Structure 1
Amino acid sequence: MIRNLLAFTLLLSTLYINAQDSSGYEIRIKMDGYTGQKMFLGNYFGDKEYLKDSATIDKKGWFVFKGTEKLPCGIYSFINEERNARILEFVVNSEDQHYSLKTKHDDPVAALEVNGSMDNKLFSDYQKYMMNNGKKRMELGQRYTELLSMKSDSAAILKKQIEAMDEDYQNYRNTLIEKNPQSLTARILKALIEPEVPEAPLLPDGTPDKEFQYRYYKAHYWDNVDFTEDCLVRTPFFHSRLERYMTKMILQIPDSINYEADQLVAMAKGKKELYHYIVWWITMHYERSQFMCMDAVPVHMWKNYYVWPDAFWVDTTTMTRIKERLKVMEPLCCNKVTPNLVMKDTAHKYRSLHAVQAKYTVLLFWDPDCSHCKKEMPIIKNMYDSLHSYGVEVYAVGVEQEYDKWKQFIIDNKLNWINVIDIYNESNFRGLYDITSTPVIYLLDSNKQIVAKKMGAKQLNEILLRELGIIDRNTPLPPDEDKHVEPNPLMETRPEN
């Protein structure tokens, strides 16, 4: 009876210990030579690193990081007491979060001993391999470049040594991945493998297909990236891979960007943090873009993905602001027909924007007291005088209510285009056209679709010359140093981990 009771007690104890081990985390580290009394636990999220936890050294020299809830998986690091140096990186997977690490402060990678975490044993072995071979590989590469520039015969010998080292690395990495496919270390290393592009096929005329390599590489860019778990978003690699794909692999026009964004978001659907980061980063990156017409990207993202419950990170206040911003910006995207304006001109006659008969209409919002307007107006006037005969008209809206000052400025500067004003704000032009500063310029085609917008006078002139065929369409636009960039009132806070 006593024996059975003892066995039952041991069983309960074992179950209790296992229950503790399966929940929460406890990561212990002892670091010989580290003089600080405190250490921090940091983790990556996108391109940033955040402090996750802290620990004070115990009597036996251990720093114990412990919590009742599991840590999100990813690459973590131990950070010194001053919080200005990363001491050692390690991995946290979704399963094993109870283990200990021992090392030395003066050489933490080489001296690392891992107990209780196979994933960190793999990660540590990989770090040691790279530390031992990476420096030699870099030195050989530098020497090879020098010999190559000197046209030395020794360059060929070094090239073979470099190729042998690269082959050894690939074999080491591939073996690790093949033997440990479920480990986080293997998934991280696999995500770093670039697609191997085969030789380009021949076109019917017998020449190689010059675009094949780009198409193949782009089509297989994400093949080795694991989208089945959120872990990779908490590594320093995912952000750079996402940024390179969106900014270097895709034609930078809104339609192409929006299409690729949809594909990526679909791949991350159901993975909370991957979905969060991809949606957030694409939206914010293109909202900050200084390239014309790129606001069509955040408009697309807001409209399709900033919807509860999927956009779980957006609070009520921010969601309200997004919806308000979307309502203003969507009708003002390039290629959209602009909202009509009907205002009185200097003769108190109503003039409709959509009734203007012109090949191109410059819609200009300005203020006679605005110093920047005074600088831009002579350039626009010269443009108008030289291009009016080509079918260019200006519909200039005075944004303030001082009628006499507005009219006198028109007379003094001989602004002989269509001048209108809305003293009583009957048209709501500020809300319709997102006018928060002056001058603001839109270029419209004959159907009153937006061709270009919110540019400076110099760029306006160059764009019109290209549109009218007076200069080559491929002529680069001049830098618009005088353009006034209004800060966006809706810059969503970056995601916190």
Structure 2
Amino acid sequence: MKFTSTLFFLLLCVFYGVNGQSNYRIEGQVKNFKSGDCILANYYGTQIYAKDTAKIDPNGKFVFEGEKPLLGGVYEIVFPDRKNLFRVLITDDQQFSFQCDTTDLISSTKFSGSRDNELFYQFQKFMREKDNQYKQLKDSKLPETDKRYKDLQEQRKAFYDKFMSDNEGTFTVKLFKTSADPEIPPAPKKANGKVDSLWMFNYYKAHFWDSFDFADERMIQTPFLEQKLKRYFQDLTIQSEDSITKEADFVVGKAIAGKKKDIISYCIWYITNQYENAKIVGTEGVFVHMGEKYYLTGIMPVSDTSTLKNVRDRIKVLKPLLVNKVIPDIGVMSYRAADRLEYIHGVKADYQVLFFYSPTCGHCRESAPKLKALQEKLYSQGVELMTISVDGSEDEWRKFIKEFKLENLINGYGLVASRQVVYRNDYDVFSTPTIYILDKSKKIIARRLGVEDIEPFLNVYKNQIAQEQKKSSSK
């Protein structure tokens, strides 16, 4: 009986200990502010979101506190002027205090009760001190400057190596390693004696993710995951569908191996989102790949059924209209004869430009004179232009063609067609104008360009074809 009572008393202490005091308490004192609201904001990707607020008293003091522990990560404290951001690291130590001065946040900051924040600012203070010494040395133009530069670099490296070694296992060290570039060893030389720069690039890319811990859920609440994703896919990956999908599967595979749901979801979402409305010709297939492989299979955890429906519907529209697919044919009322249909596949030309438009659309009206000039220039080069009006009355359609003197183009009125058609679904015309470029076999070679991009694209494309033919003939 005595044992049972003691146990019950201990359980009560634990219960009230957890619920009767703050699970996080961050006390701050900032010079230069005597009133106003501070915001504690967490990162999600590269955006910050308000998590808590606190009022500053006349002594510059304020307190953030709450009953539930904060998720670990990188946080920003936004001061009342909404100009200064003060970075803090949230780890298991969530009862700490600090003092700072907004005129010099790095040098003035002092923490108590948070080892990671102490280390974080210690590191920054040292590095900034060396940066200042470097600038002073550069301005002074003293003799032996090169030797002094080298001494400073060696001091920085010695401090960095010791700091990383002494504090291994801390969140601070993990963040610095995550944000640092891979160290590249001396590159081999090619037969001509020059450094093999391609080897350096491949080494850098192969080791780009080495220091990122996909198994640490705190990383989702730092800006570094999105920054690394952006750099990897924009700067280190060839912008073709095959290359991007290969690298997407590689990165998502690392996230899946880390077994952290939020990181898996963020990686899948980020990559998919970049290519739904792709900015680079021929990369829309990445969205289809991501949707089919991760969303529709359940690997991407989505509780909202409308999201899955939207992804499924978008794939249905995009898949037949990807680059290298033969565009679906349709016949539309001809401007030349009302009893005749103009078919997309009926146009005989090396290249064909399709211009889906609305006769009342402002952007379409701006594009029409450029389209006429383009037709006059490119017709002799084997390029035909075909316009299809997707809405408006027949009178508005005919008036548009006359107004902009487009009679020499192949013009079709899309509301009188050889089959039932919804242009938004059948040709992905969700805004006008929408442009496709087709080759001789009616395969899509580009889509969703501006009129001003048509000629430059064709020049590059034809040059690539010529080079490929030259290579194949020389074999």
Bin for the TM-score computed over the shorter chain: 0.7 to 0.9
Aligned-pair distance for 1:105?
6.4
How far apart in 1 are the matches of 2:350 and 2:422? 26
* Residues 163 and 302 (structure 1), Cα distance of their counterparts in 2 relative to 1, 3 Å cut: farther
| Deviation of 1:92 (Å) | 0.8
Distance 1:213 1:16, change over 3 A: same
With 337-346 and 12-21 compared, the bigger mean Cα shift is at: 12-21
Contact kept? 2:351, 2:438, Cα under 8 Å: yes
RMSD: 4.0
Partner AA of 1:143 in structure 2: D
* Residues 71-106 of structure 1: CA deviation (Å, up to 9, x unaligned): 1211223332444422x422112x332333355666
- Contact kept in structure 2, 1:401 and 1:424, CA below 8 Å: no
Determine if contact 1:21/1:98 at 8 Å carries over to the other structure: no
Distance in 2 (CA, whole Å) between partners of 1:131 and 1:313 is 44
Among 395, 413, 417, the alignment partner of 1:421 is 413
2:356 aligned to which of 350, 365, 371? 365
Does residue 228 of the first structure (1) align with residue 226 of the second (2)?
no
2:386 pairs with 395, 404, 407, which one?
395
Tell me if the contact between 1:25 and 1:69 (Cα under 8 Å) persists in the aligned partners: yes
1:98 aligned to 2:95? yes
1: distance between equivalents of 2:302 and 2:81? 31
CA change 1:100–1:422 in 2 (3 A) is closer
1:455 aligns with 2:449: yes
Match of 2:238 among 230, 234, 251: 251
State the distance in 1 between where 2:398 and 2:58 align: 83
The answer to which structure has the higher helix fraction is 2
Say if 1:40 and 1:83, in contact at 8 Å, map to a contact too: no
Answer yes or no: is the 8 Å Cα contact 1:467–1:473 preserved in 2.
no
Q: State whether structure 2 residue 436 is matched by structure 1 residue 442.
A: yes
Shift of residue 214, structure 1, vs aligned partner: 1.2
Name the counterpart of 1:177. Answer: 164
Alignment of 1:119-268 (within 5 A): 119-140=116-137, 142-143=138-139, 147=141, 154=143, 157-204=144-191, 207-268=194-255
Map 1:26-105 to 2 at 5 A.
Answer: 26-31=25-30, 34-36=33-35, 38-56=37-55, 63-86=62-85, 88-93=86-91, 95-102=92-99
- Distance across 2 between alignment mates of 1:431 and 1:225: 41
CA contact 2:276–2:284 (8 Å) conserved in 1: yes
Structure 2 Cα separation of the partners of residues 382 and 108 of structure 1: 59
- 1:292 is matched with 281
Tell me, which stretches of 5 or more residues in structure 2 are unaligned?
469-475
Cα distance change of structure 1 residues 130 and 373 upon mapping to structure 2, 3 Å threshold: closer
In the aligned structure 2, how far is the partner of 1:12 from the partner of 1:213?
60
SS of residue matched to 1:334? coil
Q: Give 1:32 shift.
A: 6.4
The question of whether the paired residues in 1 share the 8 Å contact of 2:295 and 2:302 is answered with no
Report the CA distance shift for 1:383/1:73 in structure 2 as closer, same or farther (over 3 A). Answer: same
- Partners of 1:369 and 1:32 in 2: how far apart? 60
Question: How far apart are residue 410 of structure 1 and its match?
Answer: 5.4
Is the contact between residue 34 and residue 104 of structure 1 (CA under 8 Å) also seen in structure 2?
A: no
Q: Which residue of structure 2 aligns with residue 477 of structure 1?
A: none
**CA separation of 1:189/1:417 partners in 2, compared to 1, >3 Å: closer, same or farther?**
closer
1:485 corresponds to which residue? none
**Which ranges of structure 1 fall in alignment gaps of 5 or more residues?**
148-152, 475-497
Q: Would you say the 8 A contact 1:466–1:473 is kept in 2?
A: no
d(CA) in 2 for partners of 1:134 and 1:383? 55
Deviation per residue, 1:257-314 (Å, 9 max, x gap): 3322222222222323333333333344445654434434444434434458554477
1:337 is aligned to: 326
1:301-335 Cα deviation digits (max 9, x unpaired)? 34434458554477444443333333223322222
Q: Does 1:273 align with 2:284?
A: no
After superposition, the Cα gap between the structure-2 partners of 1:201 and 1:97, relative to the gap in structure 1 and judged at 3 Å, is same
| Pair 1:198–1:371, CA change in 2 (3 A) | same
How far, CA to CA, are the matches of 1:7 and 1:314 in structure 2?
45
User: Residue 107 of structure 1: CA displacement?
Assistant: 5.6
- For residue 483 of structure 1, what is the aligned residue in structure 2? none
TM-score after normalising by structure 2:
0.80
Q: How many correspondences in the alignment? A: 461
Distance 1:427 1:8 in 2: 74
AA aligned opposite 1:455: L
Q: Following the alignment from structure 1 to structure 2, what is the Cα–Cα distance between the partners of residues 363 and 143?
A: 60
Alpha-carbon distance between aligned partners in 1 of 2:453 and 2:260, rounded to the nearest angstrom: 43
TM-fit CA distance, 1:462: 3.8
Is 1:466–1:472's contact at 8 Å kept on the other side of the alignment?
Answer: no
Shift in alpha-carbon separation, 1:348–1:84, aligned structure 2, 3 A = same
Out of 183-192 and 369-378, give the one that drifted further: 369-378
Distance 1:103 1:283, change over 3 A: same
Letter in 2 for 1:332: L
Q: How does 1:463-478 map to 2 (within 5 A)?
A: 463-468=457-462
1:118 to partner: Cα distance: 2.6
More off after superposition, 218-227 vs 298-307: 298-307
